[in-house]
Structure 1
Amino acid sequence: MNQRFDLSSILREWPEVPGSMTVRLLRLDDGRVVLQRRVALGVIQMETTGRPDGLRPAGHESVLADFRTRGRLDADRLPDHEIDAAEREAALYLHRAVAMAALGEIEAVIRDSEHVRSLAMIGNGASGELRSAALARLSVQAILLAVRAEVVGALREPGSGSAVEAIDRGLAALEAALARSGSISPIDSSWSDALRSLRAALVPKLPASQREELRERLEAAIRTENFELAAILRNELRQMLP
């Protein structure tokens, strides 16, 4: 047995932490930075850019890039092997997004989540007919990851208004993805509920200046008899109360 391939020392020096995701960025001798995730039976290593597995399908950076080059994104019909390739790649990118989220690498999470969502659109085609339930499911998970990353990024800045906006965008994207999938399960509903709960928790943290701005807009809406807008703004103000 060739000792060069023995991982025992690596596993001893970097043990898995039960109950949490054990991940790290590591610079290699050739200058590359790779992402590693410790699992119970070893280590998963991923590239930080391009495909996580480092492969170049048909000479392109990714299956998505290959499909774009060949004009396959809006094709009404794709052979099973192309759908399978899209599903495998989406799973890889989602796996990396989850690991990057554990490290707080917000831009990487959003980038990989968007890649998954783009692949999921291939699963629907120009006709809108669902061709891959797996891609639809991965897309929903990618949306949730991206929203959480955007919220974390927004909360690093003063105020949380942009965090609420990120949640609102995420809810709209989530509902669209669920509509494309053609079914809503209890799990799907719980994901939507989780985002709404997060939004409700953030709204009271908005600075007083933003609450005052909403009040002024509400008064203006009432003066101009725009009662539909007034109802929306009034509801927003209610949610802002501690």
Structure 2
Amino acid sequence: MRSKDISPILEGWDFQPDRISVRKIVGLDGKPKIQLRLDMGLLQMEVEGRPDGKRPYGYESLLEYYLSLLEEHRESKGSDEDFVLTHDDCMALMREAVQYYYRYLSLFHLQDFEGVLRDTERNLRVFDLVKRYAEDERDKWAFEQYRPYVLMMRARAKGALKLAQEDYDGALEEVEEAIEQIKSFFKEHGREELMEESQELKVLEEWKEELKSKRPKGAREWLEEQLRLAVEREEYEKAARLRDQLRALERQQRRPS
């Protein structure tokens, strides 16, 4: 009888509590899989579709299933009035969202940022659905409390994709937008005092400063910085030359192409 012991799979792949251990493998079906090492074993996930490979009610995910029910309700009733998600509905959606969380966390460490973006945006759609239609406010908060984290992870994925194209300004824009979205979240819920404690904001603010320091400077920005330094050092002749160069650059930029 063939043993179902997973020890051979874990052999040589020790769990490390201070870091996330994840790898991609090829499954027996010939398709790629993601394996996330846990202290008592591992999680194996599909790369596409629902992480556990199931298709609830014939749909790619429960999210798609409930969205189809919502659409049917609108078609039959003429609006979404009286459409609700019960506590059991929300808990089923939560269990599914956790699957996607484990996958986008794994994909982030595998530097598959397209996959991270896909799964974080998908979970944000779940949050929006529950926020609008859950009949119990406690169920809404069960999802909403994680919104800052998912916004942060989405921004990190978007920023990484911009950096892959050497678009530092674009990466900065993604980070700054996420910072504002998270701040708006705390304001919406009347919890502004939590902004200073938010790990998500700290991570994004630190990355923002790192991006600023590494961003290649354009000609105008470089000249302005050199001018500032020249004035501080009282190098007035150099400052005058730099001002002339800045004016020449401005004229060139205003010239019709």
- Please classify the TM superposition score into its range, dividing by the shorter chain length: 0.7 to 0.9
For the pair shown, which has the larger CA radius of gyration, 1 or 2?
A: 2
In 1, Cα distance between equivalents of 2:196 and 2:103: 22
For residue 172 of structure 1, what is the aligned residue in structure 2? 180
TM-score (norm 1): 0.77
Structure 2 alignment gaps of length 5 or more: 75-79, 225-257
Are positions 1:38 and 2:37 aligned together? yes
Task: Return closer, same or farther for 1:201/1:129 CA change in 2, 3 Å cut-off.
Answer: farther
Task: Tell whether the 8 Å contact from 1:116 to 1:139 is kept in structure 2 after alignment.
Answer: no
Residue type of the partner of 1:133? W
Other structure's SS at 1:55 match: coil
In 1, Cα distance between equivalents of 2:188 and 2:94: 16
How do 1:67-106 and structure 2 match up within 5 A?
67-71=66-70, 77-106=84-113
Task: Tell whether the 8 Å contact from 2:183 to 2:195 is kept in structure 1 after alignment.
Answer: no
Task: Tell whether the 8 Å contact from 2:163 to 2:171 is kept in structure 1 after alignment.
Answer: yes
Deviates further, 105-114 or 34-43: 34-43
In 2, Cα distance between equivalents of 1:81 and 1:197: 39
In 1, Cα distance between equivalents of 2:26 and 2:64: 27
Task: Tell whether the 8 Å contact from 2:116 to 2:154 is kept in structure 1 after alignment.
Answer: yes
Structure 1 alignment gaps of length 5 or more: 216-242
In 2, Cα distance between equivalents of 1:201 and 1:69: 43
In 2, Cα distance between equivalents of 1:198 and 1:141: 15
Residue type of the partner of 2:19? S
For residue 54 of structure 1, what is the aligned residue in structure 2? 53
In 2, Cα distance between equivalents of 1:36 and 1:210: 47
Task: Return closer, same or farther for 1:41/1:57 CA change in 2, 3 Å cut-off.
Answer: same
Residue type of the partner of 1:205? K
State the identity %: 26
How do 1:215-234 and structure 2 match up within 5 A?
none
For residue 161 of structure 2, what is the aligned residue in structure 1? 153
For residue 23 of structure 1, what is the aligned residue in structure 2? 22
Residue type of the partner of 1:99? S
Are positions 1:183 and 2:191 aligned together? yes
- How many residues are treated as equivalent by the alignment? 213
Residue type of the partner of 1:115? R
Deviation at 1:71, TM superposition (A): 1.4
Task: Return closer, same or farther for 1:49/1:126 CA change in 2, 3 Å cut-off.
Answer: same
Other structure's SS at 1:13 match: coil
Deviations 1:4-37 (A, max 9, x none): 2111111113222442111111112321111101
Deviations 1:165-191 (A, max 9, x none): 110221233234444555353676342
Task: Tell whether the 8 Å contact from 1:159 to 1:205 is kept in structure 2 after alignment.
Answer: no
